[in-house]
Amino acid sequence: MEGKAERIDWTVEGERVTLGVTRIGSGPELLLLPALSSISTRTEMLPLQQRLSRSFSTVSVDWPGFGDLPRPAVAWRPDFYRAFLRFLLTGVVHPVATVAAGHAAGYLLGQAGDDPRSTGRLCLLSPTWRGPLPTMAGRRLAMFRWLSRMIDLPVIGPPLYRLNVNGPVIRMMTRGHVYADPGWPTPERMALKRAVTEAPGARHASFRFVAGELDPYVDRAAFLRAARGVRGKLLSVHARDCPRRSKAEMQELGRLDNVESLELQSGRLSFYEEFPDDAAAVVEEFLMSSPR
């Protein structure tokens, strides 16, 4: 069940952005937001979406600057993503609950604090707030922002970008911390991931994510403060074998009184794509329970 494919338009800084949308199922509306990464699109949510569509009218949407369609040359920044999420949740989708992965979870926390009724109940999958380079460095460096601006340049930008998204780098990334089974990223799946990185305009948002320029929060305290501000219980799910530093942040989130935290035994960062039955089971159980 592939669902109904649609497109929506959104405007940022005078540029029209066309984004892919997939709808599957019937019943109460449920929004699924994919992670922000060089290889992410709404299709990473499809296995989970197909299972949740048994109980919900599910809607998955690509993020501006990401997805599988051409993207404008925009100096993407967090304010744009906050604005897009407001647009999405006030004019396009009216969910009873929202499922968000990776950095999408961080943006969702902020929206839920500002307008709780717009998001419905919250289910966070491998929630993150800090990009790969700041995570590896342990701090934000001015060099990361400088590199992001270099990527925008027409002559040197494309080759610099390709250094970050060539085949060996993507294979290392997917096998190192995205998927648990080395055989899961088949040649066919990898070809689809590579195609995402090669879409026109892909480099502008992709490298900004890697450099931490799209981080929804500047530090852990702000991330946890946003989570504390959410009314009622929210669900946070991560896999046992996700990267150590990211897992530490997820565990800190799980210690909050209003967070129901679960650790699955299978998977890494994209456990919901690789093990969708496990992910669907915990999300459905949470959503079918009475709000607290």
Q: What is the mean pLDDT of residues 233-255?
A: 96
Partners of 53 in beta bridges: none
pLDDT in tens, 167-195: 888 888 888 889 999 889 898 888 888 88
The pLDDT, as a whole number, for residue 263 is 98
**% of the chain exceeding 70 in pLDDT:** 99
Report the b/e string of 3-42 with b at 16+ CB within 10 A. Answer: beeeebebebeeeebebbbbbbbeeebbbbbbbbbbbbbb
pLDDT in tens, 117-152: 999 999 999 999 999 999 988 888 888 898 999 999
What confidence category does residue 292 fall into, taking pLDDT thresholds of 50, 70 and 90? Answer: low
Q: Which fold has domain 4-288?
A: Rossmann fold (3.40.50)
Give the domain ranges of the chain.
4-288
Residue 266 CA to its chain's centroid (Å): 19
Given a cut of 80, is residue 110 above it in pLDDT? Answer: yes
Given a cut of 80, is residue 2 above it in pLDDT? Answer: no
The pLDDT, as a whole number, for residue 121 is 97
Report the candidate in 259, 235, 239 with the shortest Cα–Cα distance to residue 247: 239
The pLDDT, as a whole number, for residue 1 is 61
Given a cut of 70, is residue 157 above it in pLDDT? Answer: yes
- What integer best gives the mean pLDDT of the chain? 94
Given a cut of 80, is residue 290 above it in pLDDT? Answer: no
Q: What is the mean pLDDT of residues 147-163?
A: 90
The pLDDT, as a whole number, for residue 192 is 86
What confidence category does residue 165 fall into, taking pLDDT thresholds of 50, 70 and 90? Answer: confident
